[in-house]
Amino acid sequence: MDWYGWCGKLVDIDLSRRKIQVIPLELDIMRLYLGGRGLGVYLVYNELTSGIDPLSADNVLVFATGPLTGTPVPTTGRFACVSKSPLTGTILDSNCGGRFGPYLKFAGYDAIIVRGASRTPVYIRIADNVISIEDARSLWGKNVRDTTAALKGYGSVLCIGTAGERLVRFASIMNDNTSALGRGGLGAVMGSKNLKAIVVNGSNRPRVYEPNLLRYRNADITRLLVASPVSSKGLRVYGTPVLMNLINYMKVLPTANFRRSTSPHAYELSGEHIHERFEVRLTPCYGCPIACKREIRSSGMEVPEYETLAMLGTSCEVTNLNAIIEVNHLCNDYGMDTISCGATIACYAELNNLQLDPKTLISLVHKIGTRRDVGDELAEGAHRYANKMGHPELSMDVKGLELPGYDPRGVLGMALGYATSNRGGCHTRAYMVGMEIFGKPKLIHRLSWVGKPNLVALLQNIFAAVDSTVMCKFALFSVSEEEIANALSAVTGIDFTSEDFIQVGERIWNLERLFNLREGFTKLDDTLPERFFQEDTDIRRISKAEFMSALLEYYRARDWTKDGIPTHDKLQALSIAGEYSHVA
C-alpha cells in the first residue's frame, strides 16, 4: 500500500517485557482519526479498561504525529501525547512543538505506544529502523537540561526531570528543553514507567501525494499568516505575553486566585515591557513562520508564555518580572506544568492567608519539583490539596485540572468551554477568547450567552481535528478549516472537505466523552468552581440558571441526551464502532 503523509507504522514498546514491535496501521483508522490527538485517543480508549490507576504499569502513553507533521505545510512541526491523567482521571492529550514530532516522522513512524513499566530507569532510542531500550540509571535524578545535554547527540530529546520521577501530578514531558507536553501529568506517567527519555532521529521525509498542488495550498496559508496582524505582528514581535495588557484591560486577568480580575501591575509582566527590557532571540518550533517562542539573549532563559505570567504572576500576586522568568525556567527544568503549578501555589497562598514574595515563590517551586516539605502536598495539585485541607472551594479547577489565564466571568463562551472540556479546565479545547476578545474570525458579545453553545461545540470539533493533523492552533487566527482540509487532501491523496475535517473532530470529541463516561464522570462534572457563580470581581458573577440553560443547549447542539450522553445513533453517524454500555 502506498502511504502519503502518513508512514503507516506504529512502534509498540512493552517496558515490562523489554519487547519492541513495529505494527502496521490501518488506512481506514487514519482517515477517521487522522493522527496526533485523534489516533492517540483511539488507541488509549481501546487499550485501557475503566478504573486503572494512571500511575500503574497498566496505563499506556501514546506519542503520535499527524499526517501534516514534518511536511512543508506551515506550523506543522508538532506531535501529541495521549494517556489517562494522574491529575484528573480523564482522558488527556497534550501537544507541543520542538523537533521530536518531525524527527519521529523522518524515522518512518506515525506513533509510539509505551506500555508496562521497567524495573530500572531506561530511555528509548530510535534511529530509523533501529530501536532500542537503553540503561538510564546514570540519568535518573537529573533535570531536563542536563538530561537533554547528555542525549542530544542522538537526536531530538523528549524527557522528564525530577518532577516526573517523583510523580508530581502535573509533571510535564519536555522536548529539547523548552517545548512542553504540559497539563495533566504526562511526565508523572512517564516517570511511573521508569522511562527517563525518548530520543529520535530519522533520515526520510514523508511522501506527499501532490507536491505541486501542495505548494499552492501552502502559499495560501502563508499569505493568510502574513496578512494577519495577530500572527505576523503580535505573536511574532511580542510572543504570547502580548496578551497581558489586553486581557487586563478587558478585566479577565486572574489575580489573587481569581478573587480579582485585574491587576495594577499587569504592564510589568507584559510583552511590551519584556520587549523594552530585554534583547530576545526567536526560537521557533520546526517549520513555524510565526515564531512566538523566544529566549533572553543575555541569560539564555526562556521568555514565559502569557499563561505562565498570569498563573505564576498575577494569580499568585507576584509581579516581579525577573522572578517569573526564573520560576518559568525552573518549571521547565524540573518538568512541571506552569499553569497548574501557579494555580496550586495561588490556592495555597489564599488558604493560608499568605502574601507571597519572589523569594518564597521560587522556594515553593523548588519544593514542589523535589516533593520536599509542603511541596509534597502541593505536588498533588490544587484540587487534592484544597480537599485535604478542608477547603475544596479554593481550588479553581474543572474536573481536577486547574484553570488557565482567563477569568470566565468576563468571557462566557470560555466559561462553557472550561466546563465541558474533556480534559478539564482548559482554554485550548475551544479558544472562545479569539472571538470574544480578539474578534477572530468575528467579534461576538463576551457577556452574552446567545449562540455560545453551538460555537463552543463547533470550535471544540475544529480544535480536535487541528490537534490531529498536528498543526499549531495559533494558525487558526489566520486560516480556516477550508485551507487546512485543502492541504490535508494534497498531502494524503484523500479528499477532505471542510465538513469532513470538522466531523473528524466531532468523532474524536465524542470518543473522549465516552472515555470519561466510562470512568464515572457525569454531567455534574460539567461545571465551574462556585466562586464564579457567587462572587463578583470587577465584573458580574455568572448566573447559575443561565449557565445551566446554556449547558443544556450545548448538549442539544451535540445531539446528546439532557444528561450529556452520546446516543447510539450519534455514534453510528460518526462511524464510532463498538458496543457501549454507558451511552443512551
Contact 333/145 with Cβ under 8 angstroms? yes
The pLDDT tens digits of the residues spanning 376-411 come to: 999 999 999 999 999 999 999 999 999 999 999 999
User: 240-402 has which fold?
Assistant: 1.10.569
Cell numbers linked to 484: 487546512
Neighbouring C-beta atoms of residue 466, cutoff 10 Å: 28
Cα distance between residue 327 and residue 364, in whole Å: 10
The pLDDT tens digits of the residues spanning 463-518 come to: 999 999 999 888 888 899 999 999 999 999 999 999 999 999 999 999 999 999 99
- The pLDDT of residue 477 is 84
Element (H, E) at 526: none
Cα distance between residue 485 and residue 217, in whole Å: 10
- The pLDDT of residue 584 is 65
- DSSP per-residue codes, 396-428: -EETTEEP-S--GGG-HHHHHHHHH-TTSS-SS
| Radius of gyration of the chain, Cα coordinates, nearest whole angstrom | 22
Contact 107/86 with Cβ under 8 angstroms? no
Provide the 8-state DSSP code for 560: B
553 Cβ neighbours under 8 A, 6+ residues apart: 453, 454
- The pLDDT of residue 580 is 66
User: 9-201 has which fold?
Assistant: Aldehyde Ferredoxin Oxidoreductase;  A, domain 1 (3.60.9)
CA 499 and chain centroid, separation:
24
Q: Decide if pLDDT at 107 tops 80.
A: yes
Q: Decide if pLDDT at 283 tops 90.
A: no
Q: Decide if pLDDT at 579 tops 80.
A: no
Residue with cell 500572527: 231
The pLDDT tens digits of the residues spanning 49-92 come to: 999 999 999 999 999 999 999 999 999 999 999 999 999 999 99
User: Could you tell me where in the chain the CATH 1.10.569.10 domains are found?
Assistant: 240-402
Beta strands 401-402; 397-398: pairing state: antiparallel
Residue with cell 446567545: 450
Question: Using 50, 70 and 90 to split pLDDT, how confident is the model at 539?
Answer: confident
Contact 285/98 with Cβ under 8 angstroms? yes
Q: Decide if pLDDT at 569 tops 80.
A: yes
| Buried/exposed code over 271-300 (b: 16+ C-beta within 10 A; e: otherwise) | bebbbeebebeebbbbbbebebbbbbeeee
Give the least confident one: 135-139, 197-201, 480-484: 480-484
Cα distance between residue 542 and residue 532, in whole Å: 6
Q: Is the dihedral of CA 493, 65, 10, 56 positive or negative?
A: negative
- The pLDDT of residue 293 is 85
Question: Using 50, 70 and 90 to split pLDDT, how confident is the model at 313?
Answer: very high
DSSP H stretches of helix in 421-539: 433-436, 452-469, 481-492, 498-518, 531-534
Write down the mean pLDDT value for the chain: 94
- The pLDDT of residue 45 is 97
Neighbouring C-beta atoms of residue 138, cutoff 10 Å: 10
Question: Using 50, 70 and 90 to split pLDDT, how confident is the model at 564?
Answer: very high
3-state SS record for 59-70: CCEEEECCCCCC
Question: Using 50, 70 and 90 to split pLDDT, how confident is the model at 582?
Answer: low
pTM: 0.96
- How far does the chain reach from its first CA to its final CA, in angstroms? 39
Question: Using 50, 70 and 90 to split pLDDT, how confident is the model at 581?
Answer: low
Stronger pLDDT, 358 or 295, i.e. the higher one: 358
Q: Decide if pLDDT at 237 tops 70.
A: yes
What strands, in cross-sheet order, belong to the sheet with 19-24? 19-24, 9-14, 111-115, 61-64, 79-84, 91-96
User: Could you tell me where in the chain the CATH 3.60.9.10 domains are found?
Assistant: 9-201
- The pLDDT of residue 493 is 95
What strands, in cross-sheet order, belong to the sheet with 179-181? 130-135, 122-127, 195-201, 156-159, 173-175, 179-181
- Give the percent of the chain with pLDDT over 90: 87
Give the least confident one: 179-193, 246-260, 281-295: 281-295
Cα distance between residue 364 and residue 360, in whole Å: 6
- Give the percent of the chain with pLDDT over 70: 99
